[in-house]
Amino acid sequence: MTPFATFALLYMTALFLELGEKWTYPLFTLATLLLIILIAWAGISRITFLIYLAITTSHFLLVQFPDVANHVNIAIYCNLLMMVGIVYSLVRIRVFPTDDDYFEMTRPLLQVTAILVYFLAGFHKLNVDFFDPAVSCVGDMVTSLSRMATSDLAGVPAGLILLAGIVAVLYRLLSGAAVRPNLPAAGVGVIGLIMIGALLVLKSRPEVSALAGATVILAMAVIVIAWELIGGPLLAVPRLQAPLLAFSWTMHSTLALIGFVDFGSLALALLFTFVPRAYLDLLNTRLRVPASGLVLYRAHLYFAITILAAIASGLHRRLVSGLLFGLAALVFIWPLLSALAGGPGRPAWPGVPLSTRRTPRWLFVFPAALFLHGITSYVGLRTAGNFSMFSNLRTEGPVSNHFLLGSNPLKLWSYQEDVVRFTRIDDRRAKIGYQYHPLQGNQLPAVEFRKLIYAWTQAGATIPMTFEYRGRVHSTEDIVNDPAWRTDARDWEMVLMDFRSIQPGGPNRCRW
DSSP 510: -
Whole-number pLDDT of residue 289: 76
Cβ 184 vs Cβ 194: under 8 Å: no
The pLDDT confidence band at residue 194, using thresholds 50, 70 and 90, is: very low
Tally of CB atoms within 10 A around 253: 21
**For the chain, percent of residues with pLDDT exceeding 70:** 90
Provide the 3-class DSSP secondary structure of residue 209: helix
Across the range 26-31, mean pLDDT stands at 96
Across the range 189-208, mean pLDDT stands at 48
What number of residues does the chain have?
512
Whole-number pLDDT of residue 105: 95
Please state whether beta strands 286-288 and 295-297 pair in parallel, antiparallel, or not at all (unpaired): antiparallel
Helix (H) or strand (E) holding 472: strand 472-476
What are 475's strand-pairing partners? Answer: 466
pLDDT at residue 206 is higher than 90: no
Of 108-112, 282-286, 443-447, the range with the lowest mean pLDDT is: 282-286
Across the range 84-92, mean pLDDT stands at 96
Tally of CB atoms within 10 A around 440: 14
Whole-number pLDDT of residue 365: 96
Cβ 246 vs Cβ 340: under 8 Å: yes
Query: What are 313-363's pLDDT values in tens digits?
Result: 999 999 999 999 999 999 999 888 888 776 566 788 888 988 878 899 999
Mean pLDDT of the chain: 87
- 261 against 148, higher pLDDT: 261
pLDDT at residue 210 is higher than 80: no
What are 297's strand-pairing partners? Answer: 286
Which phi-psi region, left, alpha or beta, contains residue 385 (left: φ > 0; alpha: ψ -120 to 50)?
A: left
* Sheet strands (E) in 168-317: 286-288, 295-297
pLDDT at residue 281 is higher than 90: no
- 350 against 212, higher pLDDT: 350
Across the range 282-302, mean pLDDT stands at 83
Of 63-77, 202-216, 256-270, the range with the lowest mean pLDDT is: 202-216
| CA–CA distance, 109 with 106 (Å, rounded to integer) | 5
The pLDDT confidence band at residue 180, using thresholds 50, 70 and 90, is: very low
Cβ 437 vs Cβ 392: under 8 Å: no
| CA–CA distance, 376 with 503 (Å, rounded to integer) | 19
Cβ 116 vs Cβ 74: under 8 Å: no
Half-sphere exposure of 442 (CA within 13 A, CB side): 21
Of 21-25, 43-47, 99-103, 126-130, the range with the lowest mean pLDDT is: 21-25
Query: What are 465-484's pLDDT values in tens digits?
Result: 999 999 999 999 999 999 99
| CA–CA distance, 57 with 59 (Å, rounded to integer) | 5
Across the range 431-448, mean pLDDT stands at 80
Radius of gyration of the chain (CA): 24
Whole-number pLDDT of residue 26: 95
Tally of CB atoms within 10 A around 435: 19
What angle in degrees, to the nearest 10, is found between the helix axes of 261-271 and 70-91?
30
Which phi-psi region, left, alpha or beta, contains residue 392 (left: φ > 0; alpha: ψ -120 to 50)?
A: left
Across the range 30-47, mean pLDDT stands at 95
Whole-number pLDDT of residue 435: 59
Spacing of C-alpha 257 from chain mean position: 13
| CA–CA distance, 479 with 498 (Å, rounded to integer) | 20
List, edge to edge, every strand of the sheet that includes 419-425. 443-445, 419-425, 465-469, 472-476
Helix (H) or strand (E) holding 254: helix 241-256
Whole-number pLDDT of residue 219: 87
pLDDT at residue 296 is higher than 90: no
Whole-number pLDDT of residue 441: 85
Please report, for residues 69, 77, 85, 398, 463, the alpha-carbon distance to residue 260 in angstroms, rounded to integers and kept in the order given.
Answer: 11, 20, 29, 34, 33
What are residue 438's phi and psi, to 5 degrees?
-60, 150
User: pTM of the entire structure?
Assistant: 0.89
Out of 180-189, 212-221, 243-252, give the one with best mean pLDDT. Answer: 243-252
pLDDT at residue 236 is higher than 60: yes
Whole-number pLDDT of residue 432: 72
Q: How far apart are the first and last CA of the chain?
A: 37
Amino acid at 347: P
Q: What secondary structure does DSSP assign to 239-253, as a single string?
A: GGHHHHHHHHHHHHH
Spacing of C-alpha 478 from chain mean position: 37
pLDDT at residue 119 is higher than 70: yes
Q: How much of the chain is helix, strand and coil, in % rounded to 5?
A: 60, 5, 35
| Closest to 250 in 3D by CA, of 158, 362, 352, 330 | 330
Dihedral angle over CA of 226, 229, 230, 235, nearest 10: 120
SS (H, E, C) 400-454: CCECCCCCCCCCCCCCCCCEEEEEEECCCCCCCCCCCCCCCCCEEEHHHHHHHHH
Cβ 228 vs Cβ 220: under 8 Å: no
| CA–CA distance, 39 with 133 (Å, rounded to integer) | 48
